[in-house]
């Protein structure tokens, strides 16, 4: 992780608390996240003189922009694609997730692969940037998804609770995939992967 100064550290702690408050179901964890959120905001207000009544990161009342996610396509020596089975829905997906603040896209991509699959990878190239909103059937948040190609460096042998299976699949025989990305967009990404091209929009 990139070395943070004190101000960035406080923002990072606050963002972790906000993520925990959004996704955690455990009442004790929610209490702890709320306390961390309140403490970090208090420290930021005292040390950085932030006015929380003004539009800022803390209120999100800033110019609206799409959320950014990352995905990493990793092929093994047999040309099979690394996929992880998501605990939340029971379907497979390419390792990835939302970008955290202060992480570069490639740093976020490597971190997501490590967390969800246990593999340490290096990023080789950009495969594409997809405007997910164009293909969504819901009124969810607008999202840009950045797709990388990665190469396995080593394995830790374990992954987080977010996934229940880690495996490699032939590109011609993929399992039931998550509906987070429409099949048409995913096929475009796979085509770009095979042809070593880069796509956008």
Same domain as 51, residue 72: no
**Is residue 161 scored above 70 in pLDDT?**
yes
Q: End of a domain among 46, 63, 80?
A: 63
Q: Which domain holds residue 43?
A: 1-63
**118-138 burial, b if ≥16 CB within 10 A, otherwise e?**
bbebebeebbbebebeeeeee
pLDDT for position 54: 46
pLDDT for position 63: 58
pLDDT for position 58: 54
Q: What are phi and psi of 118, to 5 degrees?
A: 85, 0
- Cα 66 from Cα 41, distance rounded (Å): 25
pLDDT for position 56: 53
**Which tokens is 39 given?**
């403490």
**Is residue 55 scored above 70 in pLDDT?**
no
Give me the residue label for tokens 């091209």: 197
116-159 pLDDT, tens digit each: 999 999 999 999 999 986 655 544 567 899 999 999 999 999 99
Helix (H) or strand (E) holding 9: helix 6-23
The one-character DSSP state at 182 is -
pLDDT for position 33: 87
pLDDT for position 88: 86
pLDDT for position 13: 85
Q: How many other C-beta atoms are found inside a 10 Å radius of the C-beta of residue 155?
A: 14
Same domain as 166, residue 103: yes
- Cα 78 from Cα 170, distance rounded (Å): 9
**Which tokens is 200 given?**
């956008």
Same domain as 109, residue 21: no
Same domain as 136, residue 93: yes
Q: End of a domain among 11, 33, 63?
A: 63
pLDDT for position 2: 59
**Is residue 79 scored above 90 in pLDDT?**
yes
* CA angle, residues 99, 23, 59, in degrees to nearest 5: 65
Q: End of a domain among 32, 48, 63?
A: 63
Q: What is the mean pLDDT of residues 65-81?
A: 94
11-33 pLDDT, tens digit each: 888 888 888 888 888 888 888 88
103-120 pLDDT, tens digit each: 899 999 999 999 999 999
> Higher pLDDT residue, 143 or 169?
169
Taking the mean position of all CA atoms in its chain, how far away is CA 190?
A: 19
In the chain, the number of structural domains is 2
Q: Taking the model in full, what pTM does it have?
A: 0.73
- Do the beta carbons of residue 127 and residue 187 sit within 8 Å? no
């Amino acid at each position: 992780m990139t070395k943070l100064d004190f101000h960035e550290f406080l923002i990072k702690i606050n963002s972790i608390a906000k993520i925990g408050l959004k996704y955690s179901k455990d009442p004790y964890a929610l209490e702890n996240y709320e306390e961390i959120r309140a403490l970090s905001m208090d420290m930021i207000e005292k040390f950085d003189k932030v006015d929380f009544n003004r539009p800022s990161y803390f209120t999100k009342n800033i110019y609206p922009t799409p959320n950014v996610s990352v995905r990493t396509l990793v092929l093994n020596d047999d040309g099979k694609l690394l996929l992880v089975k998501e605990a939340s829905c029971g379907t497979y997906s390419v390792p990835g997730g939302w970008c955290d603040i202060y992480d570069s896209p490639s740093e976020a991509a490597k971190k997501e692969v490590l967390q969800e699959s246990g593999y340490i990878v290096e990023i080789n190239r950009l495969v594409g940037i997809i405007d997910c909103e164009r293909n969504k059937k819901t009124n969810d948040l607008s999202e840009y998804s950045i797709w990388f190609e990665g190469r396995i460096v080593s394995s830790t042998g374990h992954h987080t609770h977010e996934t229940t299976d880690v495996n490699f699949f032939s590109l011609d025989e993929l399992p039931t995939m998550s509906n987070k990305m429409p099949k048409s967009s995913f096929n475009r990404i796979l085509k770009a992967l095979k042809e070593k091209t880069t796509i956008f929009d």
